[in-house]
Chains A and B, each alone.
Chain A
Amino acid sequence: MATIGNNNINAKLVLLGDMGAGKSSLVLRFVKGQFLEFQESTIGAAFFSQTLALNDATVKFEIWDTAGQERYHSLAPMYYRGAAAAIIVYDITSKDSFEKAKKWVLELQKQGNPSMVTALAGNKADLEDKRKVTLEEARAYADENGLFFMETSAKTAVNVNDIFYEIARRLPRAQPAQNPAGMVLSNTPAEQSKASACCS
């Protein structure tokens, strides 16, 4: 759950999705600014934390990057329990991974926290020539299910920071701060670039 103290928000965020969709790569890009062609497969889950400064708040993400193989799904409740946000990741070159993403959406709708901020990420957007899931199809699905959607590329970094910033923006805020003047951080790069859903 997002816990709020002054304008500091601690938010648990979980990444879910099929194996090889690029969950760990998205996190590595976001947390360390790196990309590895061969990212070690995640077992159980890996933990990271990263803090983002927004205009009105500082958000500290506690990120749980989970294992993608189907049999690991039975462990997932442990990771999404109490999460304030989730990123469900699929690979735009794999129809199957998109179907798996839909399953995660259903599971979270049923069992997650109703106020959870949920994002759908179509990863590997750099592999346009191998695309199997169209932007329109994914966007329509996201709209139907109240998710916000972006295509991302952990490899080229496109939309990676943006998706995390957008989640941070959508997290519930505390009641109007008593003394906002002391906390205002302006001109953070992601604040300038409004999130866009397109990858190109």
Chain B
Amino acid sequence: MFSPQAQKEISYGFPSLIAQWKNTIITTTSTTKATHNTSNSWKTPCLNVKFQDLYDFAVEGNIDDVNVLNEVSERVRQQAKVWWALEESKGANWYLQPQISSNGEGISVASLKLSVLTNTISLRKLIRKGIPPTLRPKVWLSVSGAAKKRSTVPESYYEDLILATHGKVTPSTRQIDHDLPRTFPTHPWLDTPEGQATLRRVLVGYSFRDSEVGYCQGLNYVAALLLLVMKTEEDAFWMLAVLLENVLVNDCYTDNLSGCHVEQRVFKDLLVKKCPRIAAHLEVMGFDVSLVVTEWFLCLFSKCLPSETTMRVWDVLFNEGAKVLFQVALAIFKMKEEELLTAHQIGDAINILQTASHHLYDPDELLTVCFDKIGSLTTNAITKQRKKQEPTVLAELDQRLRRLNSVKLNDEQ
């Protein structure tokens, strides 16, 4: 079948990539740094450069961003060595061994083997430090449960599904077609007819698999990134399936996005608990954080974080579950605490958060805050909070629907 990487080889020979970054400076414009960066801003003019990141996205940043990206790619290379060394000592695919579920289904102590336990712990540590891009497809399929999901259906499932959807037009396919050219339109592969046709098959296929979800805007970005990472569109499809059916909260993308509403409420409570100063300050300002956070959750950060940083978040998401989305969102707020506390207008607060997230080229900087500075956050705690919020959300959505229906009735009379 298809392979984006066969079509356009994404090589992970990092030295050459570093060279590529240095060489792909398309334009350089000299600007002076914003005045709030006081002390030495006047002596260091800030060069704006355009370059391609690890996944071929065209990005614009300053020279510091390029340097950070170079450092990151070096770290990725080192990390790959660690993974290969482990393959040698523990045997190839050691991480594919059964592990303890970290998705909160409870652990049966009796069934625990010491080796499994050590594998689980070391794998978690290792994954938090990043999965090398070449191993991502295999590791993601395994730790997320996607491989298991696929193993329960006939091998020809995906092919049959795509055949069955061929030529069918539904409201979902119409919306998908509308969004295809609007999904990361500057990406060199997604901008090609082949890229869009592939993305279409994955999205249309899924819309037929789960007609309740059908197609929800936002999934286009998620599926596009999955395609760039996984080797085949079929793998991307199964990753999308496991995400929507097992990893994320139910009804995140269905009907009236009720799951997304629940997550927003849970997040707001967490912000009060974990970052009380920020929460209090934003409250006074009248800034509803959902205004910003909704997109983060629905696109799983793919629209706001640089690509490799997003992938690092997804590494952990697939291994540890949806609680990671909360931790990452909290970390972005936490990292900008001091700046946010000086903001007095909603627009300023939004700009602080957006600028910060767009420039998070160093995944480790984000993930360190995420796991070391936010305090622990368990899947169980999140599940409890969701249960608490669900009735309120459903009541609210129901009330809105009734009001709207009464609008229609009045209008018709």
Contact = CB atoms under 8 A, between A and B. Distances in A.
Contact of A43 (B221, B286, B354): B221
Contacts of A75: 257, 260-261, 290, 294
Interface string A37-55: 0111111111101000000
B343 to A, nearest CB: 13
Contact of A110 (B290, B294, B345, B407): B407
B255 A40 contact: no
A56 interface: no
Contact of B407 (A74, A78, A82, A106): A106
Interface in B299-338: 299, 303
B66 to A, nearest CB: 24
B232 to A, nearest CB: 25
Nearest to A49: B347
A69 B294 contact: no
Contact of B294 (A19, A44, A71): A44
30 contacts: A10-B345, A36-B185, A38-B181, A40-B182, A40-B183, A40-B303, A41-B179, A41-B217, A43-B217, A43-B218, A43-B294, A43-B298, A43-B303, A49-B347, A69-B217, A71-B253, A71-B254, A74-B257, A74-B258, A74-B261, A74-B397, A74-B400, A75-B294, A77-B400, A78-B288, A78-B290, A82-B286, A107-B407, A110-B404, A110-B407
Contacts of B275: none
A19 B255 CA distance: 16
Given A38-B182, A40-B185, A75-B261, 9 more contacts: A36-B185, A38-B185, A47-B291, A68-B217, A71-B253, A72-B217, A74-B256, A74-B261, A107-B407
Contacts of A45: 291, 294-295
Q: What are the 4 closest A-B residue pairs judged by CB atoms, nearest first? A: A44-B294, A44-B295, A74-B256, A38-B185
Contact of A106 (B255, B256, B290, B411): B411
B36 interface: no
Nearest to A76: B400
Interface in A1-49: 10, 19-20, 36, 38-47, 49
A166 interface: no
Interface residues of B, number: 44
A79 B66 CA distance: 36
A193 interface: no
A47 B183 contact: no
A62 B179 CA distance: 26
A116 interface: no
B257 A40 contact: no
Given A47-B350, A67-B217, A74-B397, A39 B295 contact: no
B183 A41 contact: yes
Contacts of A115: none
A42 B178 CA distance: 13
A196 interface: no
The listed residue with most A CB atoms (<10 A of its CB), out of B286, B346, B347, is B347
Contacts of A178: none
Contacts of B347: 47, 49, 62
